[in-house]
Amino acid sequence: MNGRVAQINRKPETPGQHGLPKIPVASVHVSHQGLEGDFNRFRRDAKGDTPDRAIMLLPLETIQRLNDEGWPVKPGDMGENITTEGIPYDDFVIGAQYKLGEVVIRIAEPCTACKYLEDLPYVAEAKGVEFITTLTRLERGLLVNRRGWYAAVVSEGVIAQGDAIDPLSASA
């Protein structure tokens, strides 16, 4: 299934702040380390800048579902670099490759909810634990993780808002 880049989000290293929410940009160069101008302290300090966490994706449909459940999440709030549209959350699978603009990525692992989500105003006002539970609750006997997907960059280049997201074969 093809999709599109609904929004590109990044946040530079800002003293005293975490990487949430990220700020939208129209286009960005993406290297094997991630989006130019984006900083992720957790990836650097706790994960040794692993290339499997170069970028994070989250479907707009997941954000809309959270909105329907009463959470006023906006693109970039969850720390995703790429807000996708047209590809359901469960269609992203580990090892799948996609082309976004000039960039080719490989889905590496699901992203788990982190404590810094509590810094979002609507989460802090409600109770952070309740929001984290909403992202990882049991649904029909399955743990539903709705935070997003980490991906490695296979081929560097530029991504622009509105670019198509095309699935590739695993050997691309």
CATH value at residue 152 = 2.40.33.20
In a domain? residue 96: yes
Q: Which residue has the higher pLDDT, 91 or 48?
A: 91
The number of CA neighbours under 13 Å toward the Cβ of 161 is: 11
Confidence of residue 45 (pLDDT cuts 50, 70, 90): low
Q: Which domain holds residue 57?
A: 3-167
In a domain? residue 102: yes
Given a cut of 70, whether residue 139 has pLDDT beyond it is no
Q: What is the pLDDT averaged over residues 25-34?
A: 96
In a domain? residue 172: no
Lowest mean pLDDT among 37-41, 95-99, 164-168: 37-41
Which 3 state secondary structure label does DSSP give 141?
coil
| Whole-number percent of the chain with pLDDT over 90 | 51
Confidence of residue 48 (pLDDT cuts 50, 70, 90): low
Spatial CB neighbours of 55, under 8 Å, sequence gap ≥ 6: 30, 34, 35, 81, 82, 105, 150, 151, 153
Question: Three-state SS across 21-81?
Answer: CCEEECEEEEECCEECCCCCHHHHHCCCCCHHHCEEEEEHHHHHHHHHCCCCCCCCCCCCC
Q: What is the pLDDT averaged over residues 89-95?
A: 93
In a domain? residue 83: yes
pLDDT in the model for residue 39? 82
Q: What is the pLDDT averaged over residues 76-98?
A: 94
CA angle 36, 166, 10 (to 5 degrees): 20
In a domain? residue 104: yes
Q: What is the pLDDT averaged over residues 149-166?
A: 97
| Whole-number percent of the chain with pLDDT over 70 | 75
Spatial CB neighbours of 68, under 8 Å, sequence gap ≥ 6: none
Total domain count, the chain: 1
Given a cut of 70, whether residue 137 has pLDDT beyond it is no
In a domain? residue 39: yes
In a domain? residue 155: yes
- Average pLDDT over all residues of the chain: 84
Among candidates 115, 143, 137, 112, which has minimal Cα distance to 128?
Answer: 115
